[in-house]
Structure 1
Amino acid sequence: MNDKMVKALINKIWITRKCRINTSERLILTNRIAQIFTNYYSIVILSISIWSLYSSSESNHLSFISVIASLFLLVGSIGVNSLNYKERIVNLRSCYIKLDGLLTDLEILQHQLSRLSNEESIKKFERISDNYNAILESVENHSSYDYLKFKITQKEYRHWFDYLKLYLLKFLFVILILLLTIIPFSPIIIIYGGI
């Protein structure tokens, strides 16, 4: 048993922990955005329904739009709820807290290496490694986006191409948010804009 093996596992667990934190933060943001859009679409549908009450000439179009939008909202709400964001966030938080405990155990082992027999140090190392694998199996893996986000915060891992990929993904996310914001109004614009 040598110090290099312990350092390698420390590094591996540390990277995994940071990526799982990124995953948890991403899911928190996604959950908030999903809640905001659910409320936003509910307000838009309610507004269209109220508008259709006072707009007798276009009432059929507005009622139709309202029904279609309500169906989309229902399907979207069911889809968002099936993703179990809150449960996944709690599981990821538990995971990175456990990984933090393993890091502490490994650092203690690293300081004890010179005093422990080779057999004792191997036994402790294998126990920590087995615990690490069990923790990984107990929760979902992080995404490549979460690892990419980790890489750009670490000097020894980052590359200019990683910045490009990350900011391209963020740009696409902003475009998606803008489209989701505009979509409820597109039928109204088409009907009343004469397109």
Structure 2
Amino acid sequence: MNEIKIKALKGRIWITAKTRMQAEKRYRLYDVVSHIYLCLLSFLAICLGVFSEYIHQDFPLSEVSIVVSVFIFGASIIVFGFSFGESAVLQRECYLRLQKAEGEDEVEYEKLHNIYCDINSSYPNHSTADYEFFIVERTFWHKKSIEYYSYDGKIVLIDWNWQILLSVIGRSAFFLAIMILPPVTFIAVFMIFRN
């Protein structure tokens, strides 16, 4: 019975580690995208000043420049506050410790369970989105199964479903919209008011 419980716990540890890997990827993506976005906004602010003579006189250039500058300032503070890079490092440390715990041989259930709980309580949690992205990536895109033992010794199969897939697609579409909509809007307004 103890061996079945250890297999079940190791399955949970494996799933948690894989989900933490997904969380690390998400935070690294947020870190890179936020830095690129802030650089592009700074470039935009510079372009407003440099190419001001090519902009129609009716365009409220000084007001737009102030709004862009304040937006850059606010976004910089928010990005700094979220600490995406630091969060990615913490998720990486967590999954490396989880992998080490999963790989331990001849360990008692109680000890392994305590290690698992200690690791999880030492790091910030991943989101449901990370778990869903892991399921979709592994089962839908890569066509691999996710199996682990339950505590009663049965094999549990985790697979994607339409709710999870639509959730992942919705989150991805929202992320893309947030990234694409402001520059497209600005370019459209700029094209309307150019000479």
Q: Distance in 2 between matches of 1:178 and 1:167?
A: 16
Structure having the larger proportion of residues in helix: 1
* 1:129 paired to 2:90: no
Aligned position for 1:167: 169
Give the strand-richer structure, 1 or 2. 2
The correspondence of residues 76-155 of structure 1 with structure 2, limited to 5 A, is 76-105=75-104, 108-109=105-106, 124-152=108-136, 153-154=138-139, 155=145
Distance 1:66 1:103 in 2: 54
Q: Is 1:178 the counterpart of 2:180 in the alignment?
A: yes
RMSD over aligned Cα atoms:
2.2
TM superposition shift of 1:171? 2.1
CA contact (8 A) 2:28 2:84 kept: yes
In the alignment, which residue of structure 2 is the partner of 1:42? 42
Gap regions ≥5 residues in structure 1: 110-120
Cα pair distance change 1:78/1:183, threshold 3 Å = farther
> 2:8: which partner in 1?
8
TM-score, length of structure 1 as denominator length? 0.81
Map Cα deviations across residues 148-191 of structure 1 (whole Å, 9 max, x no partner).
Answer: 1122214331233122322232222222221132243355356x
Do the aligned residues in 1 keep the contact of 2:19 with 2:134 (CA within 8 Å)?
yes
Alignment identity in percent?
A: 25
1:74 aligned partner: 73
Structure of greater Rg = 1
Alignment of 1:58 with 2:60, yes or no, is no
Cα distance between partner residues in 2 of 1:90 and 1:96: 10
The verdict on how the C-alpha distance between 1:175 and 1:57 changes in structure 2, with shifts beyond 3 A counting, is closer
Distance across 1 between alignment mates of 2:58 and 2:102: 64
